[in-house]
Chain A
């Protein structure tokens, strides 16, 4: 059963209102996105900056509201649960944020940071909450836990802070964990720790994870399936094992090629895309990728490709079977 089902979701942000505050233009941040995440899987979303992946994460955890479409977690509409039973909603889905520096109130200790959600929900007393926090720190291998409970965030390294953020997200035993770029602030030599921790947590808790990242290697390593986003749309969904060798969409191929530059992991010529990502305020007609695609034809310029399914994967490209 799918734990998370995203169907045709739209989120537009108004820009440059006129003097009466009416917006004439919109950033098409998330523009008709659909996918579903099975229970217990780690599902990845990749894309470059401005493709809408972070907005998508914020929509799913309910930090912002979607304009149209439907997001269901365990069969329940997010907008509904959020309105009717916000307590339960918070216990259903939690997030690990991107920036481990700004995610902490600099004036509060780790103890406060970890016990606060437990005190707000779950009806625990102070002492119980502290002992839960203790366990959580041990779960993310921050030991001795007592030492870390009394620290202020700035006394911890970036990697340690990232562990605390994971612990906090797990504190309410959510069914779905959304991790937004969990390792992008970390140096290469310590990234592996957090990657392994996420894997471990996933395995032990059987928790479903939505992993958002611009880093292909991380997504490849951790996920079972991957959605590739470009300018607010999902252009391809594929099995992670196919990412480096069997992707169908020309954008995915270019992304793969540019990411593994130097390491020679991708086969064949390095693909250099022309031009840059167009503005999400006025996305191109037809296929959004056509101005940068070297295969683009007239159809691509005029007609938006319908997402096609084949062998359980999705690709939104007019030409995928001809490439």
Chain B
């Protein structure tokens, strides 16, 4: 007999599990800092040479680096909970502040792209699945697999070459131009900067979403309740959306929710290619300048975000499927 839980326990388990996950991620971070070659103080301060010995000593004390390892760990966790992740060596500011400034651009890029990808990808997937083995289906499927196989940085370069260099339509670098007056012009300027990085991510992820939706739609369309819905004389559009698509949502939610880490890694590369001032670019430049505290901070933040998105995914499953929600 498989274990079935009632919904409250189900929720509780998921929340507890998320806390455990965050704890484990912290442990991994802690281990990495302490296993990596070099003095851990560098991970907190960056190059130690810029600070007076007194200051270094005080930081050592503050982060408990003079203490035994288990106490170090406790202090490390408590610091994390207070949002203290050390200081950026490059910016001389607390890591949290440095990262926080870079979150909005990343969210803007990811958000725009995700909305577009989910809408367009779902529609294409449904369309392809509703006419399996048609020319349209082959076209959509081929484009999907091509999209998935495209190295994201290479696609970015091609798009820059096409839209920026050859056609001169969109800027290839940055998020804003220097000389822009008025909020409307500013908005248009932002949009034109947003276009290429969004398009790159969109094209890459579109294949992923389309494929997922197509596969799960094909499966849903084969199920017997779809036959029953057709037998009721429902219009095909209603059969597709209300009956089949709703039942094929789970894999799509899984893709977006559980693959957030994967989607974000695309963002790192795209932000680097297009000099988009987000978290990904920060991560890249920080690795280049050996700004370890920032690197670790971004890792912890992204990991926590992934855990949270996993939790939200589980809740969405329950929202979509009454069998989970109403398990008596």
Give the interface of A toward B (CB within 8 A).
13-19, 21, 27
Q: Are A19 and B1 in contact (CB under 8 A)?
A: no
**A148 to B: closest C-beta gap in Å:** 35
The answer on a CB contact under 8 Å between A15 and B1 is yes
13 intermolecular pairs with C-beta atoms under 8 Å apart:
A13-B1, A15-B4, A16-B4, A16-B5, A16-B327, A17-B3, A17-B5, A18-B9, A19-B5, A19-B9, A19-B12, A19-B13, A19-B16
**Once the chains are docked, how many angstroms separate the CA of A68 from the CA of B287?**
65
Give chain B residues whose Cβ lies under 8 Å from the Cβ of A21.
3
In the complex, B321 has a CB within 8 A of chain A: no
Interface string of B295-322 (1 = CB under 8 A from A): 0000000000000000000000000000
Interface size class of B (residues with CB under 8 A): 10 to 19
Inter-chain CA distance A18–B5, complex, in Å, is 7
User: What residues on A are CB-neighbors of B6 within 8 Å?
Assistant: 16
Known contacts A15-B1, A18-B5, A19-B12, then 17 further A-B pairs from the complex at CB < 8 Å, ordered by chain A residue = A13-B1, A14-B1, A15-B4, A16-B3, A16-B4, A16-B5, A16-B6, A16-B327, A17-B3, A17-B5, A18-B9, A19-B5, A19-B9, A19-B13, A19-B16, A21-B3, A27-B1
Total contacts A-B at CB 8 Å: 20
Q: Interface on chain A toward B: helix, strand, loop, or mixed SS?
A: strand
5 tightest A-B contacts by CB? Answer: A13-B1, A16-B4, A19-B9, A19-B13, A17-B3
Chain A CB count within 10 A is highest, among B1, B4, B5, B16, for B1
In Å, the complex CA distance between A21 and B9 comes to 11
Contact residues in B for A13 (Cβ distance below 8 Å): 1
Q: Which residue of A lies closest to B2 (CB)?
A: A15
* CA–CA, A141 and B169, complex, Å: 81
Q: How far is the CB of B267 from chain A (nearest CB, A)?
A: 36
Instruction: List chain B residues, Cβ under 8 A from A27.
Output: 1
Tell me the chain B residues, 27-83 only, with Cβ under 8 Å from chain A: none
User: Which residue on A lies nearest to B12, using beta carbons?
Assistant: A19
Query: Which residue in chain A gives the minimum CB-CB distance to B5?
Result: A16
The closest CB in chain A to the CB of B6 belongs to A16
Cα distance, A18 to B11, chains bound together (Å): 12
